[in-house]
Amino acid sequence: MTTPNECPSWKKLQNHYHEIKNLHMRDMFASDPDRFDKFFLSSQDIFLDYSKNRITPRTMELLMELVRETRLQEKIQAMFTGEKINSTENRSVLHVALRNPADKPVYVQGQDVMPEVHRVLDKMRGFVHQVRHGEWTGWTGKKVRHVVNIGIGGSDLGPKMVTKALSSFNNDGPEMHFVSNVDPAHLENTLKKIDAETTLFIIASKSFTTQETMFNARQARSWFLEHAKNENHIERHFVAVSTNTDRVRQFGINPDNMFEFWDWVGGRFSLWSAIGLPIALSTGMNSFEQLLQGAHDMDNHFRSAPIESNMPIILALLSIWYTNFFQAQTQAVLPYSQYLKDFPAYLQQGEMESNGKSSTLDGNFVNYATGPVIWGEPGTNGQHAFYQLLHQGTVMVPCDFIIFARQPEHNDRQHRLLMANYLAQTQALMTGKTEEEARQEMNAAGMPPDKINKLLAHKIFPGNRPSNSIMIPELTPRNLGKLIALYEHKIFVQGAVWNINSFDQWGVELGKQLARAIEPELDHDRPVTSHDSSTNGLINLWKKL
Ligand code: F6P
């Protein structure tokens, strides 16, 4: 398989980078009044302006060549047709099947998985209806008022992010809580807010072996039994979402109360499966199905749009351009929506667990950069925290700005303020402020020359800092589904070009292994000497404290 830096286009891109690296976007806009139209895309009601990037038409041509030379289209086809592209775990990667219509077969090893997918969706629909309509009650006959999802990583971040994003669609649904951290404070503080009689616990774990989740689940069960005093009541208050029926049964949850998914769904791509049960309970099954429909719309776009107008491909190529040629090590995701507060954290797992890899699919080490650090916060909060560095720091951070054109609250004045900030920030990052402009500004404000000279360097903004602007008409379940799938496919394209496996996560194993070895050493008072001096020193300090 080809590594990207063996492709002819890679060398051309390196040369091209040297040709254009000193061009300023200000000048590019000044010399080309059509720049916005040239670098603007819309599909499925998602609008992407990527004109404020350090690119020319030639950059995009060369990046498209890279895509062709790394045989992206074949790789897309392989994913959608169920080939085992997660080669280190010998698995297909088919989260796209979870949002596929029932009558379009998707095969895994010769078997159509769609009947199973829709059987579980039907089961979810029935359960969600019962819970939301008070037909499924707790042991004292009371309606479910609280749902506590216990899970971590993909079994937490996706459903939590979407549940919050769609919280305004929760019409009389239960209050949702998410417990992930093994820090006892997380569960304990949640239990203080609920009462056992009206609480449903969802134990969400693909493997049903994850230490943190199993620990929290056992603690939650003990707490519940302290109140209910009868194991038979567990049935009304604990359900599971997993691929592992045996473990669910061993835990004491009736497999009838289990919602399955399959090993071809990666944890960080699982919110479309029964892992999305909290979303469905909170917003209703219709909204959940709209979310799936939106993702399917984006799947269709990704699969069929030519690369020049394929939004996930364009976003991925821009990210590769900055990572591999400008050596940018981080990228920021900045939603101008309080509803998308958890979107950056969700994408951190999506991108960093997928593309934070150093070995190629053929088992060699890469000699080029792969996945960048992803981080972010909602605007405008971020503006008053870290944007200083974005504007005047010494590193370049490519940014994605995301906003909904309309808001459910209909507070037009306040939304206009949010919009003005969204627009102003990308403009400021792009244009910056020259020495001349800074000087004139201070002059006009009547500042004495000696003060101007003292302040001048501080008032200059270099600009030329790249950003994508994503605009979506409004936050609906369907549009949110499109947005999430857009990033999922972007992640896929990056991994495909970098020739890495975006679907395994061996890097999380070592820490788990070592924690298993350390935990018993914390059980006694004797000093520990079996590790390096730092680890021993910290263990022994902890014992003393
Ligand atoms: O440790 C990483 C990881 O395996 C993630 O990939 C996954 O989303 C998370 O743990 C939770 O795993 P599970 O759903 O099996 O509990």
Which among 508, 509, 512 is the best mutation to test ligand 1's pocket, defined by most ligand atoms within 8 Å of the CB? Answer: 508
pLDDT for 373 equals 98
| DSSP three-state, residue 534 | helix
Distance, CA of 477 to CA of 498 (rounded, Å): 32
Mean pLDDT of 116-144: 98
CB distance 266 to ligand 1 below 6 Å:
no
- pLDDT tens profile 146-160: 999 999 999 999 999
| DSSP three-state, residue 101 | coil
pLDDT at 1 over 80: no
Percent with pLDDT over 90 in the chain: 97
Mean pLDDT of 70-86: 97
pLDDT at 78 over 70: yes
Distance, CA of 114 to CA of 102 (rounded, Å): 6
pLDDT at 384 over 70: yes
pLDDT for 474 equals 96
Distance, CA of 92 to CA of 80 (rounded, Å): 9
Q: Which residue has the tokens 């060549």?
A: 65
456-461: which pairs have CB atoms within 8 A and are 24 or more residues apart?
459/433, 460/432, 460/433, 460/434, 460/435, 461/391, 461/392, 461/428, 461/431, 461/432, 461/433
Distance, CA of 67 to CA of 496 (rounded, Å): 9
Q: How confident is the model at residue 407 (pLDDT cuts 50, 70, 90)?
A: confident
Mean pLDDT of 403-413: 84
Sign of CA dihedral 296, 121, 288, 401: negative
Q: How confident is the model at residue 404 (pLDDT cuts 50, 70, 90)?
A: very high
- Count of CB atoms situated within 10 Å of the CB of 486: 23
Nearest CA to 32 out of 51, 10, 14, 19 is that of 51
Q: How far is CA 401 from CA 55, 256, 376, 404, 491, in A?
A: 18, 44, 10, 11, 17
Q: How confident is the model at residue 86 (pLDDT cuts 50, 70, 90)?
A: very high
CB distance 150 to ligand 1 below 6 Å:
no
Quote the pTM value: 0.97
pLDDT for 172 equals 87
The pair of structure tokens assigned to 333 is 């995701």
Angle at Cα 530 formed by Cα 525 and Cα 533, nearest 5°?
95
pLDDT for 412 equals 87
Q: Which helix (H) or strand (E) holds 449?
A: helix 449-459
First to last CA, the chain: 54
Residues classed as catalytic: 353, 384, 512
CB distance 505 to ligand 1 below 6 Å:
yes
Q: How confident is the model at residue 67 (pLDDT cuts 50, 70, 90)?
A: very high
**Residue with CA nearest ligand 1 atom 10:** 153
Query: Do the beta carbons of residue 40 and residue 49 sit within 8 Å?
Result: yes
pLDDT for 409 equals 67
Q: Which helix (H) or strand (E) holds 185?
A: helix 184-191
pLDDT at 543 over 90: yes
The pair of structure tokens assigned to 41 is 């895309």
Nearest CA to 163 out of 174, 153, 152 is that of 174
CB distance 244 to ligand 1 below 6 Å:
no
Which atom of ligand 1 lies closest to the CA of 204? Answer: 14
Mean pLDDT of 433-459: 98
The pair of structure tokens assigned to 380 is 């405008």
Q: Which helix (H) or strand (E) holds 49?
A: strand 46-49
Q: How confident is the model at residue 356 (pLDDT cuts 50, 70, 90)?
A: very high
Nearest CA to 495 out of 45, 88, 55 is that of 88
Write down the mean pLDDT value for the chain: 97
**Residue with CA nearest ligand 1 atom 1:** 508
- pLDDT tens profile 195-232: 999 999 999 999 999 999 999 999 999 999 999 999 99
Distance, CA of 407 to CA of 9 (rounded, Å): 43
- pLDDT tens profile 222-277: 999 999 999 999 999 999 999 999 999 999 999 999 999 999 999 999 999 999 99
